Amino acid sequence: MCRMKQEPSPKPDIGGRAEIETLVNTFYQRVRSDDMLNFIFESVAQTNWQTHLPKMYAFWETVLFRSGGYTGSPLAVHAKLAPLTAMGREQFDRWLLLFQGTVDDLFAGENAEHIKNCAADMAKVIHSRIN
């Protein structure tokens, strides 16, 4: 059979920790090649990626499966950044575009839809509280 004619294999859903790590790693790779957002992480927050990435695995695992053990306060962290740099509509729109685009490129299904909706809701809340 001609392989060219086969449908591309369907994307998996986000099933657990392994997929969350893939999603987070891919998303922050894209953030780091985006000038607008990378500036905030590298120059303003001076992010330590070795600690930030595991924190974000825990965060999203907690959001999606209630098992990640995340106990931080995202609102407070972003509120501290807001006076130091531009954290407006443009930045949040870009963040969400990259996040949802990463989900869609890698995954499809109920959890993929749910994590995109959670990200959109939280972006809205964080943006409105810090501006």
Binding region for ligand HEM (CB under 6 A): 37, 40-41, 45, 47, 52, 55, 59, 72, 74, 77-78, 81, 87, 91-92, 95, 119, 122-123, 126
Looking at residue 111, the DSSP 8-state letter turns out to be H
Contact in structure between 50 and 35 (CB atoms under 8 Å): no
Residue whose CB is less far from ligand HEM, 6 or 52:
52
Residue 73: HSE in the Cβ half-sphere, 13 Å Cα cutoff: 5
Q: In this structure, which amino acid lies at residue 28?
A: Y
The span from the CA of 69 to the CA of 118, in Å, is 17
Residue whose CB is less far from ligand HEM, 11 or 89:
89
CB of 13 to ligand HEM, least distance (A): 19
Residue whose CB is less far from ligand HEM, 9 or 46:
46
Kind and range of the H or E element at 49? helix 49-65
CB of 10 to ligand HEM, least distance (A): 26
CB of 110 to ligand HEM, least distance (A): 18
The span from the CA of 63 to the CA of 69, in Å, is 10
Residue whose CB is less far from ligand HEM, 6 or 48:
48
The span from the CA of 109 to the CA of 64, in Å, is 13
CB of 16 to ligand HEM, least distance (A): 19
